[in-house]
Chain A
Amino acid sequence: MSDRMFLKDLLKPHRIAMAAVAGGLTLLLAINMDWSWMPKYTPDILRALWITMALLAGSIVIGFLLAVPIGLVQVTGPRPLSLLAKTFCTLIRGTPILLQMWVLYYGLGSLFPYLPGLRGSWIWPFLIESWPYALVALTLSFAGYEGEVMRGAFKGVPRGELEAARAMGMHPLTILRRIWLPRAVQRVLPTLGGELILQLKATPLVATIAVVDIYAVFGRIRQETFITYEPLLMLALIYLLLAGSITFAMRLLEMKLSASR
C-alpha cells in the first residue's frame, strides 16, 4: 500500500518536470564529459568497492556488539565500568576520527622498531597490513557513537516493563535478553539508518592510511588521468547509491520487524 502511495507521490506534475530536468542534466553530463577512463579502471573500482563495503559491514557489526555493553554498563553500573565506558565515548566523540586513525596507524607504527619481540609474534602479520587499523578505528568510532545511543535507549525502556518481569521471577539475564535488549534495539532502529550512513561517510578516511578503498581508487584515477571532475562526480554517485541502498535496506528491515509484531 505504501508503495503505491510512494508512486503516486512521485507522479505529481512538478516532480515529473524536476525528474525530467535532472535526467536531462545527467544526459548532458554523460555526453559532454570524458568517461573514456571508465572501462580501464572498472576492475579496480569493483575491487575497492568491495573493500569499502567489507570495512563498513565489519565495523558496524563488531561496533554494535561493543556498543551494547558500553551502553548497558552506563545504565546499570558498576561504577568503575560505567566510568570507563563514559570516558571511552567522550574520547571517541570528542576527537576527529581522522586523528584517531592516524594515532592508531602512524602513532603505533612509530613504536614498532623499539619492540624487538614483535616481529616474531603471531600478531605481526596483522600489524604490517593496513586494513586491520582501518577496521579497528572505524569499529571503535562506531562503538563510541552507538554506545551513547544505546545508553539512551536502555534508559528509555519503561521501568514498569522491567519491574513486571522481575516480579514474575525472571532471571536478570533473561530480562536483558528477552525484554530490555529487544526493546532498546527497537528504540534505536529508526535512527540506525542515519548512523549507518554517517559510518559510510567515515570510510573514505582509510585512504589516508594506505588502504585502497573506493575513495583511494578515484584519487589514483584523478592522478593518472589528470581528469578532475568526472571521477569526483562518479565517486559522489557511488556513495549516493550506497547510502540509498542502506536507507532502503533499513526500511525493509523496519517493515519486517513491525509486521512480525
Chain B
Amino acid sequence: MKLKLALTGLAIATLAPLASAAEPVRIGIATEAYPPFSTPDASGSYTGWEVDIIHAICAEAKLDCTIVATAWDGIIPSLTAEKIDVIAASLSINEERLQVIDFSNKYYQTGASVAVAKGSDITPTPSGVAGKTIGVQSGSIHQAYALKHFPDATLREYQTQDEANQDLFAGRIDGALADVLILEEFLKSEEGMLCCEDAGLVAADQDIHGLGIGFGLRKGSDDLKAQLNAAIDVIRANGTYDEITAGYFNFNIFGE
C-alpha cells in the first residue's frame, strides 16, 4: 500500500511538468451510434473499436480521460467552445477542418463506398448514380464528396449515418455513401443482409477524403497533441493496436 502510494507520488512528480496530465482530458465522442467504431449500449456506456483505442491511448499517455458524448452535428463547435478537449469521432483530417482545428496524426484510414439495395444497377461513379437518391450524413466528408462528384444524383442528408442506413433498409433511398467500414458493418447486420449490398469504393479524392482519421484538437494544445501522437506510435509498435483491431476487423485498417 505504502509502496503504491510512493510510486504514485513518484509518477506524479515526474509528470508534473506536463500540466495537462493532472486535470482530466474530456474526450468528445458522437452520441449517435457509429458501429463498429462507437455504439452506446443498454448500460449507457459506449463500446467499439474507437472507444477501445482511445482508452488504450489514454492509458499509454497516462491521461485521466473522461468520455463526453456530444451530438455529431455540434462536435467541432463543442471543441472550440472548450466543452471537450479532444474529438475521437472518426473525424477525417482535411484542409477545411485544419483551418479551424488541429489534428493528431492519423489513427486509421479507409475509403468510401456506396451501399445499395440488392440487385441494384448502381455503380459508385458519377454516371452510375445519376438520377438516383443517395443518402449522406449532413456535414460529413461524404456529403462534400457527393456534392462535388455526384451532381446528377439527388442527395438526401441525414443527421446521423444510422438514419441513412435505416432509410436504405426501408427502401426510401437508392444508395448510401459513407465510410466503407461503417457500411460493411451495416451490411453484416441482419437488416443489411436482408436488403442490401456493397456497390464498391468510390474514386478517392485527396482534397476531400484527406489524410486519414485523427483526433481533433483545439489549436494551440500542442502538449496534448504530442502526447497523443507519441501514444499512437507506442500502441502501434507494441501490438496493442493490432490486438484491439483484431477484435473488430480482419484486415489492417491503419492504411498504407
Taking Cβ atoms with an 8 Å cutoff, the residues of A that contact B are 106, 109-110, 112-113, 119, 127-130, 207-208, 210, 212, 216, 219-220, 222-224, 226, 228
Contact = CB atoms under 8 A, between A and B. Distances in A.
B167 A210 contact: yes
Nearest to A112: B170
B77 A222 contact: yes
B195 interface: yes
A119 B139 CA distance: 31
Nearest to B133: A128
A210 B158 contact: yes
Interface string B141-170: 001100000000000111100010011011
A109 B138 contact: no
Given A216-B157, A226-B100, A113 B138 contact: no
A146 B73 CA distance: 34
Contacts of A223: 73, 138-139
B171 interface: yes
Contacts of A106: 163, 166
B73 A226 contact: no
Nearest to A133: B172
Interface in B180-210: 191, 194-195
A129 B173 CA distance: 9
B97 interface: yes
Contacts of A224: 96, 139, 144
A220 B156 contact: no
A215 to B, nearest CB: 11
A105 to B, nearest CB: 9
A120 B158 CA distance: 26
20 contacts: A106-B166, A109-B169, A112-B170, A113-B169, A113-B194, A113-B195, A128-B172, A207-B159, A210-B158, A210-B159, A219-B73, A219-B138, A222-B74, A222-B77, A223-B138, A223-B139, A224-B96, A224-B139, A226-B76, A226-B97
